[in-house]
Structure 1
Amino acid sequence: MLTAVTLSLSGVVAAHAEPHASVTGVDLTYYPWVDNGYPSLGRNGLVADPELLDAFAREYANSAHPSNTGEMTTANPNVQDFLVWWLPHRLANIAMDQAEPPAGHDLDLTTSDGLSRAAWLAHLTGYYSSTWLRSNMAVFDRTTVISVTPTDDVYAQFYSQALGQYRDAALSGDDARAVGFAEQTLRSNAPLTADLPGPFGDLLERGPAEVGMFGYDAAWLRNLLPPNPNAPSAAKPFTDNYFSANPDVLLDAHFALPIQQYLQDAERRHAEATVDPGVAGRVTEMVRGRPGQEPLLATQQRFTAAGDAIYRNGVIPGTVTIYRGWDQEQYDRLLAWASYAVMYNKADSLNALTAVATNDATLARQEIRAALLWWIYSTTYVATIFDPRNDAKQLSDCLPRFRTG
């Protein structure tokens, strides 16, 4: 994810349900919404559905769920895990037709209503994930360097100029447009004209899209691991072979955590499709690019270099790093979060390549819907990482709490 500074809070307290309490829902805290100064979110198609959020919370907390080190467990459901990585990737599996919504709840992402409610969930999780990170950076590293409260105009830019095109292509485009747009998502998003908060907003303005974001997030994850200077001094990955990626090989990534189902399916589908020499040839053409286009490997390498430049020696060169002091619990959560981000980028990229090479409009629309939800999550996260409004609070007071009964 795009992180740029470290910030101040008074403390981090784990917010989770009691070990044996039955979770019934989620009590939300503040988040940017139409009733508190962000009307563009409603105008751009987000629809709040607290009952659906509660249903996802029950599904996560009251059944076996993965821990931050990959084991399945029924113990100690944690709202940080739920918001930071479980729910965003549950939505991804639904978008990529690898999972169903909670029993008794409809979430059809092929409809405007379904996509709008999923978009609200992605917005929530992006905001709370950024709040989680900002709090932890303050507690484990240093005080605020940049504080910028995003205005509604920032979200209006995100949605109307960058993300609206995804929604239109997914819901109203014909088959040819869907396939063509899936190819576009590999290389670029629509440029944003408004100044974005923070020193690295230009990365989004240049539009990393799927392959670029894969390279950036893979570099971020690699720099979180020892022996890199950004790795914590008192916390370790649960295995020495936590993650590997060769930036000189397109979409190369290998994980210690169990692979998300959507990535398993994307890898299988791509491998099966490219057995056909014609399909393999079309993939090669896309990877090379048309005359005047940057080859996809060069795009990946360019954003890998950007990630390395930012994270190799700390977010702002010449300053202390932002992860060196993290404790084991939050470091495990950070690594899971980063791993699943790379999985998401890789799956979207593979699905786009496969959809275009096989002229599969159904797969193209799945990829576009998944990409839309990811960019809602990511852009909300980027807007929020500089937001100081929770700086005087502990994390347990900033994040929602599970409701039990």
Structure 2
Amino acid sequence: MTPLMENASDIKILLVDDRDENLLALETILINESYQIVKANSGRQALQCLLDDHDFYLIIMDVVMPGMDGFETAELIYGREKLKNIPIIFLTAMDIEENIYKGYKSGAVDYIRKPVVPELLRAKVGAFIDLSLKNKRLIAQEETLRAINQELEREVMERKLSEKKVKALNKDLQDKLAELQSLDAFAYSVSHDLMSPLNNINGLTNLLIRQHGQNLNESGQKMLHMVLESTQKMSKLVKNLLLFSRQANAELKKAELDMNAMVQAVLQEISAYKPLEKFQIVVQDLPKANCDENMIRQVWINFISNAIKYSQKSASPRIDVGALRNNGSAIYYVKDNGAGFDMKDYDKLFGAFQRLHTEKEFEGTGIGLNIVKRIVERHGGKVWAESSQGMGATFFFTLDKTYPETVLKVV
């Protein structure tokens, strides 16, 4: 807002009188005060001046004028919102006592009897100019406060709308969470119910191969083995679904875990069904972690099993298990020199039932990494990977919210 000017040269006074000699006399009295003087010879001309420029501090107006007298002019001036705060001093040769009520009713703030006494006029003009300045300041402050109040009201309204949006989003999130929990429970129930018939199919197929396999020709035996292989794949998928559902709903039980002992136990478990003699497996010293032992075991099993699976076709397969430090946070990793993957497919990597290789190339269900992602994020951490196709892959995970600011490279 423009600050109020208080120099006399910035203060405008409107003089209204139908006689030029009277206007000149008034101007002569006020000339030493350096006010800006604007003159009008009629009420109509005065109104035109005020319509063109309403930034006047005082109006000095004769009461008796032809056409439109001072009282009528004052009523029209004060009928406009932007002009109603300009004080008016009436000049009159009439009896003030007889016209004082009419004058004040029309908007006058004071009277001066003609002939004008210069000292009295200058004194009253000074007093009303000071009053007008103070009034303009108050109006400006009122406008500022009104603008501030409107801004506060707008902010309050926006905050209320934001709160409503947050409440709506929270409700939507709760509904979706309940839906997910219901789906997890359903998946668990279905997976659990599927295991029994799958186990029966698997057992009966094995029994059929042992007891009657010799009675079948080569084609029949091949079909039985295909049935057995399919049921085993289905059993593995259902087990992963059960694990997926358990990890979503299981209670997180954190305690200090020796990661070195955990990795060695996982390697021993894997070696029971997968010979590891041809693999060079290097395990660095790993820092301990505060985590759920059973859940983190699944992370290591998945990462190390994948590293073995995708590097088994390499001439000299090598797997490195280690940890990096980043701002006091441990970042664990598993690196292999196997098939790797194209980073343009990265968005699919941790999705459920997403695979970056065909079943013929490498077997799998496509759910393991999604389980890992769930487990790590439940610990408040993050999981990610780096790879080049044909150049191996490195999978990272951390169990807290301190993430690396830049992509970490494992040499």
Q: Could you say which TM-score interval applies, normalised by the shorter chain?
A: under 0.3
Q: TM-score, normalised by structure 2?
A: 0.21
Structure number with greater Rg is 2
Q: Which has the higher strand share?
A: 2
